[in-house]
Amino acid sequence: MKKNSLLTPIYVILLCCLLLPLSGCGLGKLAREHQQAQGGPVELKLAYHLPANHYLSQGMERFAQRVNERSHGSIKITTYPAGQLYTDKSMNDAIMSGGLDMGLNSTAMWTTVVPALNVLDVPFLLNSYDAVGKAMNGSLGYTLTTEMERKGVHPLIWVDYGYVQFCNNSRQLTKPEDFQGLQLRGYGQIPAETIKALGASPVTMSSGEVYMAIQRGTIDGQTSGTTAMLQRKIHEVSKYLTMTNHAFCEFVLAMNNASWEQLTEEQKQLINECAEETREEIHQQTKAEDLKAMRQLQEKGMEVFTIPPEDIPRWQEVTMPVRENFIRNTGDLGRQLVNQCLAANN
């Protein structure tokens, strides 16, 4: 009896080895058994602060679902939407410290750690959605990825958010001079410099505070994408929308480096594949979502003004000190990044 009981586990192992080639796609049975032997699946927390019904949020949910399904239980990603785990201000520290495995946040929120990311907010550098795609899939994206990795953070994908606009509750902004005297919320260093260059006063606060701040008159307006304005119901407290397309907001899905390194090569490949599928879907959505949100804001009562192409040089001239200051602060790297953006316009 003892002999048979000792041999039984060996038979089971041999049977598993014989069945291994028949296992399904994804990570396969061997990886699943390895994780089970280690105490179960790799559990990862993914946080984002955007509202759950934002199309970027929906993209993150699809990404997590893909990984969970295709890993056959080897990886379990749990999502925490709408800032319920971390706000946009606190998320990055959590990722770097290991308190959070992965998070989706705007590049503007990473600029204190990786100043090179400020280039995406330098006004009037990337003049079309195609130029943005060309830059982020090419030399600009490679350079920015390298800069983040130097800080011990692993960027999975760059995620298009859309062009940045201005809204306020005081007057329509049809020319730079109209900004005089306004107080506008900026979401980072370069947006604040842009607001100041246009003659307004920048105010720093979390995106979740903007609605009440405009409603109470603490600020006159803000700068952000139209999709965020719509999702946060800014049209209820802000009357005027100016379509400047002056900066392009990118988000980055970033992982804590230790969380990334704990994965097997097969797991890393699976996560990369799922992330790339999600990135491409979002890239195809971005322009349509921007314009759809603008129309919906207009339907809800906002007065929309789009800067005519012939007026753009005037806006570029007024905000040029922001570009010059960025290059001054970042040196040769900054000049390289600016040139990579401008080259993508061709």
**For the whole model, what pTM was predicted?**
0.82
What per-residue confidence (pLDDT) applies to 39?
Answer: 57
Angstrom distance (rounded) from CA 264 to CA 27? 10
Angstrom distance (rounded) from CA 74 to CA 78: 13
Per the CATH hierarchy, to which homologous superfamily does domain 37-344 belong?
Bacterial extracellular solute-binding protein, family 7 (3.40.190.170)
- Specify the pLDDT at position 219: 98
**Per-residue pLDDT tens for 301-317?**
999 999 999 999 999 99
Distance separating alpha carbons of residues 181 and 197, to the nearest angstrom: 12
Calculate mean pLDDT across residues 265-288: 96
pLDDT in tens, 9-21: 444 444 444 444 4
Give dist(CA 83, CA 45) in Å, integer.
Answer: 13
Which pLDDT score is estimated for 7?
A: 43
Distances (CA, A) of 128 to 194, 306, 345: 19, 15, 7
Tens digits of per-residue pLDDT, 165-213? 999 999 999 999 999 999 999 988 899 999 999 999 999 888 889 999 9
Query: How many Cβ atoms sit within 10 Å of the Cβ of residue 324?
Result: 13
What is the reported pLDDT for 19? 41
Quick: pLDDT tens for 113-135.
Answer: 999 999 999 999 999 999 999 99
CB 269 within 8 A of CB 25: no
CA–CA separation, 304 vs 239, rounded Å? 9
Distance from chain centroid for Cα 42: 24
The gap from C-alpha 111 to its chain's centroid, in whole angstroms, comes to 13
